[in-house]
Every structure is written in C-alpha cells, then in structure tokens.
C-alpha cells in the first residue's frame, strides 16, 4: 500500500458518519425535553469522558491500569483549587486541570515502561492509593474526608451560569465530551494511533521495526491522564465540590467496567459503556438498593459469556456455539 493510500484510509476513518450527529444530539434533546434527567445525563457524560481516556491506554496501547482514578482526582482537585484561589472561569480551570493531570501522568509513565502486566497493574493502583492518602493527610488544602468545599464557578463563557437544576452542567459536560470525541477520533486514527495498536499487539516487534515504543507509551499515557483530568474538572465544576472519592479504587474499577461493557479500541466504546453502567446503577439502585451490584455482575457474566452482538439479539443465543 502506497503512502498516499494509507493517508486516504486514515482520513476516511476520521470522517463523521451519518448516524453520529444523531447520537450527539440525542442527549441534548433529552435534557431539553426532560430537565429532571440533567443530573443523570451529566454524570453519564463525565464518566464517558473518563472511560475514553482509559480506553486510549488500555484498548489502543494495551496498558492495563487499575489506578486511572489518580488522574481523575488530580483534575478534580486542580480545578477546584484553581477556581477557589485563582479564578473561577470554567474553561481556564479546565485547561489548567488538564495540564496538572497530563504532567502527573507523564511522571507516572516512567513507572510502567518495564515489568510484567501484573507489575503495571500494581504500580498504577499504588500511585492512586498514594495520592488518596496524600490528599487525606493534607486536610488544610483538600478538606480531607469532608472534601473541597466552597467552590463557586463563573458562568460558562460568561453567558451560561450553573443552575440548581443541573441543566447548564449537563450541556457543559456534553459539549466538553463532544470536543474530546472529535480530538480522540483524530488521535486514534492517526499514524500515532496505528503505532499504538502495533505496540499493543507485539511491543518487541514494534521496537524491531523502528518504533520508539517508550516514547509513544509515555505520550499516550500523558494524553490519557489529561483527558481523565478533564473529566474530573468537569465534575468539580458541575458539583461545586471535590471529594477524595475521586481517587478511590472504586472509581478506577467502575471506569474499567465501563470500558469492558462498551468494548475496547472503539471510539464510542467508553460512551456506550458509561451509559449502560450509569443507567444500570440508576435503575437497579432504586429497585434493590442493597443488591444492585449483584445484578450488574449478572449482566457482566452474560456479556462475557454471550457477547455484545448476541446480547442485543437474544434469538441467536441457541444457534451454534457461544461465539457462533
């Protein structure tokens, strides 16, 4: 294949499909028609943004992480502290939080370059737990167990104030998600994204054909950290509050489940996974508040056993084998 043909193929992948604007406009219509759903839509959008950040390192670079909440938490507290002590402008605070999250991820990227997959999992988990304990110790700055309170945000772009009904917060988070989806599409369908897939499939072979594997892994991890920090910042802006729960292991586990549900190495995998997981949480916690995680577990077993395609087409379950 000639370089021109490769370039055309990559450009074709970045083009917006006809059905995608419908997918983007649907949540906006839901918020407009059902304002009471604003908080749910807002949380789905935030977690979808968080999920695509994990998919960049897990699905495309093949790096397993159980501590991705470290960057989400750094973004949440960076945005809150910036708004409280510097300026409460949401967009500027978002950019600042991304810088903090990206820098944190870049420093941490040196710890995942060597060692087995299990070593990487434990190191990423350890980083998240260390940051959680540091935040819990520095109560004078983070508020400790009480969280960072007293965060007041200016209107978005000076025009749209955050309201108690959560409508502005929902539109804000959806807009940020849409921007990052466009950027994310460009990243994963670029030559850089293709090189990440090669590294994921066989790092030694990628290195042998001249790909600087360490440099690309560090860059991917830095970008993922910045996107995760953006998700944390949007949550702080929406809630006027930052909690140490942002660093918790449960946060990393939840986002990993979202990526698994939606599918790895797919642009909309994290989005679909976040919608399904948050939706299940919302519905099942109302029906069975104490046992909703049991039903989520049942769903995951079915998903892994039957497969995504056949799960939405149950009439095919008994045709052939489990994957037939």
Distance CA 74, CA 129 (A): 12
pLDDT value, residue 7: 57
**Quick check: is 310 in a domain?**
no
Which pTM was predicted?
Answer: 0.90
**Quick check: is 296 in a domain?**
no
**Quick check: is 197 in a domain?**
yes
Max CA separation in the chain (angstroms): 62
Distance CA 10, CA 15 (A): 9
**Average pLDDT of 282-288?**
84
pLDDT value, residue 311: 58
**Average pLDDT of 258-287?**
88
The number of folded domains in the chain is 1
**Quick check: is 319 in a domain?**
no
Is residue 215 scored above 80 in pLDDT? yes
The answer to whether 229 and 78 are in contact (CB under 8 A) is yes
**Quick check: is 315 in a domain?**
no
Task: Measure Cα distances from 221 to 107, 113, 119 in Å.
Answer: 10, 11, 16
Is residue 303 scored above 70 in pLDDT? yes
Lowest model confidence (mean pLDDT) among 1-5, 242-246, 250-254, 266-270: 1-5
Phi and psi at 148, nearest 5°, equal: -85, 110
Is residue 322 scored above 50 in pLDDT? no
Of 102 and 265, the one with more pLDDT: 102
pLDDT value, residue 319: 55
**Quick check: is 260 in a domain?**
no
Is residue 267 scored above 70 in pLDDT? yes
Of all residues in the chain, what percent carry a pLDDT higher than 70?
A: 90
**Quick check: is 199 in a domain?**
yes
**Average pLDDT of 82-109?**
94
Residue with tokens 């916690």: 285
Q: How confident is the model at residue 169 (pLDDT cuts 50, 70, 90)?
A: very high
pLDDT value, residue 120: 86
**Average pLDDT of 31-50?**
92
Structure-block tokens of residue 34? 């059902």
Residue span of the structural domain in which 99 resides: 19-248
Sign of the CA dihedral with 259 first, then 263, 266, and 271 last: negative
Distance CA 299, CA 91 (A): 38
Is residue 125 scored above 80 in pLDDT? yes
Is residue 6 scored above 80 in pLDDT? no
**Quick check: is 314 in a domain?**
no
Lowest model confidence (mean pLDDT) among 26-35, 229-238, 300-309: 300-309
Q: How confident is the model at residue 323 (pLDDT cuts 50, 70, 90)?
A: very low
């Amino acid at each position: 294949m000639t370089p021109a043909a490769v370039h055309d193929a990559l450009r074709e992948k970045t083009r917006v499909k006809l059905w995608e604007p419908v997918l983007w406009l649907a949540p906006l219509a839901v918020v407009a028609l059902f304002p009471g759903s604003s908080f749910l839509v807002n949380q789905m959008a935030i977690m979808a943004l968080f999920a695509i950040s994990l998919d960049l390192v897990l699905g495309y670079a093949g790096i397993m992480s159980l501590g991705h909440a470290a960057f989400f938490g750094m973004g949440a507290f960076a945005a809150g502290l910036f708004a409280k002590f510097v300026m409460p402008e949401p967009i500027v605070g978002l950019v600042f939080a991304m810088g903090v999250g990206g820098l944190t991820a870049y420093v941490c990227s040196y710890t995942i370059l060597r060692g087995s997959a299990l070593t990487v999992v434990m190191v990423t988990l350890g980083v998240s737990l260390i940051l959680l304990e540091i935040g819990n110790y520095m109560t004078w700055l983070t508020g400790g167990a009480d969280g960072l309170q007293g965060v007041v945000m200016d209107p978005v772009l000076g025009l749209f104030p955050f309201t108690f009904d959560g409508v502005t917060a929902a539109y804000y988070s959806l807009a940020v998600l849409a921007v990052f989806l466009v950027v994310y599409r460009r990243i994963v369908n670029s030559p850089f994204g293709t090189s990440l897939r090669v590294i994921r499939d066989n790092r030694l072979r990628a290195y042998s054909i001249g790909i600087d594997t360490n440099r690309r892994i560090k860059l991917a991890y830095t970008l993922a950290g910045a996107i995760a920090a953006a998700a944390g910042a949007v949550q702080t802006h929406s809630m006027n509050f930052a909690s140490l729960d942002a660093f918790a292991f449960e946060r990393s586990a939840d986002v990993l489940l979202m990526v698994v549900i939606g599918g790895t190495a797919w642009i909309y995998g994290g989005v679909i996974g976040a919608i399904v997981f948050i939706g299940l949480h919302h519905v099942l916690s109302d029906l069975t508040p104490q046992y909703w995680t049991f039903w989520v577990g049942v769903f995951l077993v079915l998903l892994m056993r039957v497969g995504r395609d056949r799960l939405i087409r149950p009439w095919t379950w008994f045709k052939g084998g489990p994957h037939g």
